Structure 1
């Protein structure tokens, strides 16, 4: 018989996970939110007895999902524990990428087994999360005695589990921010540069989008090293000099990010084997010039 699920925090992730678990035959025993409107919205989609009191909701579940905001997990967990909301044999899960298991310590002290499962995915809407979660890699952090259970639970969601050590979660999460959040920032910078040369706002991204999609495809097929193209991989020092000169003259606030990314791209080109150490040193000298 499958466990009863209590969901504390019914935002995009909590609601989507509840929906998928319900489809797999789990009972959504309870849901909890701070506001009645959020409860009503989630209840329409996944059911579950609605509570505004997290401890009362927690008591209903064999598995308790703490899907609050990252900065609220420890506080909410402590409040539930203080009110006797956890018990021996429960499994208490948070889904934060950055937070360690320490934020669930009060649940563990109440006799519960604690773990973290974090989907490596970005969710804009509940419907998008429901669609995107299956097939997503989940970083799993847990004690050895619950690892197998955690992997099975992730697989029930259609996910692919991978173990992440508790003391490495911040690096793991930072990597997710680099490839997702910082990519958005790079697109914003690229758009800013395109508009600077006269492209209208509505075209500034569209013009470069085929290039971006082609790069994604190349990375997927060949990995980041194999996918690298452009002046650095060719050792074209003069083009880099030209870029830096013009950016310094007209978009000086972007020169630092250009140089930082340039230095790391030299490392990629070296790994690819298309430039030698002499060319790499020459390129590095350009990127290390004073701003």
Structure 2
């Protein structure tokens, strides 16, 4: 992989020495036709660890000291993307270049100050966890990466990601908030539900090691069934069976123990009933009443 015009390796700069950026740049450092160039970080110790993990590149503590590059990756917290793009643009770095951030929520236009300089903008969100960068790098092959932004930027960045094993796919313009909301519900909030379930089992007197095994067994079976059958056919339980008396009484028991969890239980049970009967969660079912919506905190 090389620059199409100069036939030289693509030069990549990274701003942000956290888990996402260091994982990607560790992968890029072993990619033919790519040159990992400058790595920026504000914390010298963290930057040193990032450089050691990546295995190539030059550590830089000052944005102004970063050299020109073909692709700049802004792997910083969502709320800092605009700030960092503005600070970089104020330095009038050589360009135009491609700027890409890794947020699942923010659009590429969050880097508008760089776009005003003639840079092309993209976002690339790997749908995986980076809690352990070493494990993330090891298991990155096959990871889906959602992309949006300027067509030329996406066309420039996608092959670099695909060269290290990513499976890129498009996100429609304006769709990032719902896209990321879906990822949060499928992953982060599912983890919260597992925590609530373990707390409930503990309250019911189930030993911790048994509760952990129950979680694992149910999660594994659920994942297999959803993959094989789809959500509607995989769904079981009292709401799916239409046993609303059990749902109501069970919801009351949860409310007496954990009122906040009861709101989630009742709302999700309502959506479960819709899913089983209609194949989706947005369409009310015939027996649903206004009282259902009020009771379920809607």
Q: TM-score, normalised by structure 2?
A: 0.87
Q: Does residue 54 of structure 1 match 2:77?
A: no
TM-fit CA distance, 1:164: 1.1
Computed over aligned residues only, the root mean square deviation of the Cα atoms, in angstroms, reads 2.3
1:204-243 matches, within 5 Å, as 204-243=211-250
Residue of structure 2 in register with 1:166 after alignment: 173
Corresponding residue for 2:28? 21
Structure 1 residue 106 corresponds to structure 2 residue 106: no
Question: How big is the shift at 1:263?
Answer: 0.8
Worse overlay, 252-261 or 202-211: 202-211
Report deviation, 1:116. 0.8
**Counterpart secondary structure, 1:180:** helix
- Taking the aligned partners of 2:153 and 2:296, their CA distance within structure 1 comes to 53
What residue number does 2:77 align with?
Answer: 69
Structure 2 Cα separation of the partners of residues 187 and 175 of structure 1:
17
Structure 2: runs of 5 or more not aligned: 3-8
Cα offsets for 1:172-212 (capped at 9, x unmatched): 11111111111011111111111111123444332332112
Between stretches 250-259 and 104-113, larger displacement belongs to: 250-259
Q: Deviations over 1:222-272 (max 9, x none)?
A: 221221111222222332233134334444443211111011101111135
Change (3 A) 1:31 1:252: closer
- The structure that is helix-richer by fraction is 1
Matches within 5 A, 1:28-43: 28-43=36-51
1:117 aligns with 2:119: no
Tell me which residue corresponds to 2:140.
133
Counterpart Cα distance in 1 of 2:48 and 2:260: 47
Match of 1:199 among 196, 201, 206: 206
The change in CA–CA distance for 1:95 and 1:289 in structure 2 (over 3 A counts) is closer
Shift of 1:221: 1.5
Residue-pair matches, total: 285
What do the CA deviations read for 1:43-100 (whole angstroms, capped 9, x no partner)?
A: 223211111012322x332111111121111111111111122522x11111111111
Instruction: Find the aligned partners of 1:44 and 1:37 in 2 and give their Cα distance.
Output: 11
Q: List aligned pairs for 1:177-188, cutoff 5 A.
A: 177-188=184-195
- Unaligned segments of structure 1, at least 5 residues: none
Q: CA deviation at 1:140?
A: 0.5
- Partner Cα separation in structure 1 for residue 229 and residue 53 of structure 2: 41
> 2:157 aligned with 1:150, yes or no?
yes
